[in-house]
Structure 1
Amino acid sequence: MTDQDAPQVPPLRVLWLIKGLGPGGAERLLVSFARLVGRDSLSVEVGYVRPDKTQLVAELASLGVTSRPLSGDGHHWIATLRKLLATGGFDVVHAHSPLLAGVVRLLVRTLPQKTRPKVATTEHNEWESYARRTRLLNAVTAPLDSHRWAVSRRVRASMWPWVGKGTEVLIQGIEFDRFDAAADARQRIRRELGIPHDAVVAVSVANLRRPKDYPNLLRATGVARLEIPNFTVLVLGQGPLKEEIEGLHAELGLGDSVRFLGFRSDVADILAASDIFVIASAYEGGPLSLIEAMRSGLPSVATDVGFVSDVIEPGVHGLIVPTRNHRELAKAFVTLCRDGDARAAMGRAARSVSGRFDIRETVERQMEVYRQLAGKASSLNTSRND
């Protein structure tokens, strides 16, 4: 029998559920996944709740992925989601939000048993960062999952014990090409932003939300600037706390030492123009921006959150400090600013280990589970969709 004569296995039908399609880490994972898996292996749609978070809709569409807003048609998003589940013919539903996970687990049980899709979920954040009601809903309904991932061991450890016990840790990866190609952008970006050539630049890539603890970063910058006057922090991100954080920035008199750049599509270029990567968060899951910074050859100063301690060896790839302690964060900044040789050595070491975090491995594992849940044997195609 020739390959042409072999029976054709239809692609898996998968529905991804996510809060919004803004430029966050979990959202970018969907884009990377869609870029790497051939359409003959996977037919995927995305359902999202936030109608104001649509930045990635067009990019997903260019990869053959339909994005469906679940709100805004005059019906409650839960009713819209239930209708989509009943008519979509999905093999698997994969939820990337704790609230959506809790709801879809229950909605699937209202469908006829023979048409019910299997439910997979990914926990992207430590449970302490969730609202109490969301945490309770997630915990009570979690046994209804067919498969569950956590993006770090710390995230799994934060779960209620009976939930964490059945959870697979799967550290997410990145697409290396984007960051390898940006290596020559340093001088161009510094000229564009008016950054002096002798400035030591730290960069934070995180939306302006409570768990990211920007007050910690701003206060640490103020302390560090007393000893390192040419220290500059670039902030890439947007979010609901913009006015509050900018108000604290003005109150502390930080001026141009902290610059808010908002959303940027050229994150790889900004990383190439920087000297240090910073995470000042109180809570994290698996901050992919850390892996991106390592691939860009940056040492990191990071609070001990998410998978930071799994990825960074202190003194080798960067420095790890306690959460909510701006003085320790400032001390780490000063240490790296004063020692350019140590910065360079840590950056080289970080890049050398970044190869462990290839998004293709994540894609292969998730596709393997999708096929198992759907009961379909099909070959994985991770070729690019050029």
Structure 2
Amino acid sequence: MNLDPDSIKRDFPRMRGIYLNNASSAPVPFIAIKAVTDFLISYDEYGPDSNASASMLDELLSRARKEVARLINCREDEIIFTQSTTHAINIVANSLKIGKGDAIVIRDGEHEHPANHYAWLRLRDGRGVTIRTLNLKDEDGSIDVEELEKIVNSEGIRLVALSHVLFNTGLILPVEEVSKVLRDSDRRIHLFVDAAQSVGCMDVDVKRLGCSFIAFPSSKWLCAPPGLGILYCSRDAWDDIEPLYVGGESAFIHDGLCYREMPYRMQAGFRGYALLAGLLTALQYINSIGIAKIRNWNMHLAGMIREELQNHQYDKLIKLYGPDDPRLRSSIVSFNFNDKDSDTMVRRLVGDLEREGIIVAEREVLKKKIVRVSPHFFNSEDDIARFLATLKRLLVLTS
């Protein structure tokens, strides 16, 4: 697969155990850490409030936008830097020109990340927006595109919001099919996509997806320092949003208050420049390896885990989530137990694994606790073998 995880591991601070929780937050490579400290040193050397430092900030913003735009295939002026995915979602939810009489379509709160659920629910109470909810087809979180087609043909629908990859089961939702349904409708309907679990570990092309907005963080699959989010805002959606914040970077006075051009009008108060230096370097690092290679390796590791969990010795004990077809899922692997005490067993197992030096996550599917395992490109086959051996030993003790 032309990827050497043992060599890649040397690019990161030495881990004290096996880290398999990259869907939450990923480690940061040395070069990205160094980029942060190098920026801070240069910023102080020039003088934080000087013409030289201002030029350095402008260049950094431009280079970072260019790298993000290359990654997701968009124009540089369609990229807005935020504090997090949650922040980006709230910017869209509260900047969109909608109100009473309008409606949005969201997924259920069981399979959708709270960040991409609560912000839209708030519009119902704050602005009188009608909320339409898609039903689930199965436990993995699949949606019925035909149901969506019927909903969007009703009156008042202005936006559909969903995730690209589900944070709990790893299911890839049919975003391109949804986009086609919206394009074929007789009115303009925006598509918002939470791509927190896809950008950095699989190919994401916003033009192919056909979305108006997409949001993702620095700190998950991109392996950049935490504290930044990225919001893609299509040029086609510019007239339908208005700035949520205002400041000297985003507006000026000329016979009244005037907004600057995009994306600056939507980015008042941004000060995460040191983190942005780390993001830029992390993006260059990820691109040097290649998203396709990362996807293939991650899916190979996930396949090792799923194959073992589907072994006959576990078939009565373990319930595995996510579709069998690897084209329909990410490298997230989630499971729990066919036992009435499954929640207790999940919680105990996650804790026991961490005490053994293996980090995974506890999440939920339909109010049931699950163990979520999410390998990334620096993980090796040996990491997975050690995880599976430890898991087997702990399950023997549990049973």
TM-score of the superposed pair, with normalisation by structure 1? 0.28
Greater RCO structure (CA 8 Å; 6+ sep): 2
TM-score of the superposed pair, with normalisation by structure 2? 0.28
